[in-house]
Amino acid sequence: MVLSVNQLIIIFILALILVCLLLLGSKKSRYLPKNIRHQRRITKGEAVLERINKIIAEHHESLPAVLGYLRKIDPLVFEELLLSSFQRQGYKIKRNQRYTGDGGIDGHVWLHGQMYLVQAKRYKDSIKAEHLKEFAQVIAKHQARGGFFIHTGTTLAKAKSVLQQHPEIKLLSGQRLVDFLRCL
Is 12 part of any domain?
no
Is 14 part of any domain?
no
- Alpha-carbon Rg for the chain in angstroms: 21
DSSP per-residue letters across 124-143 = SSBPPHHHHHHHHHHHHHTT
Is 162 part of any domain?
yes
Is 169 part of any domain?
yes
What does the pLDDT profile of the chain (184 residues) look like in tens digits? 677 878 778 887 887 777 666 665 545 444 444 555 455 556 676 778 788 888 888 887 888 999 999 999 988 889 989 998 999 899 999 987 655 555 679 999 999 999 999 999 998 899 999 999 999 999 999 999 999 999 999 999 999 999 999 999 999 999 999 999 986 5
CATH of the domain at 83: 3.40.1350.10
Domain coverage including residue 81: 30-181
Count of domains forming the chain: 1
Is 144 part of any domain?
yes
In angstroms, the Cα distances linking 182 to 10, 24, 88 are 53, 33, 10
Is 7 part of any domain?
no
Is 23 part of any domain?
no
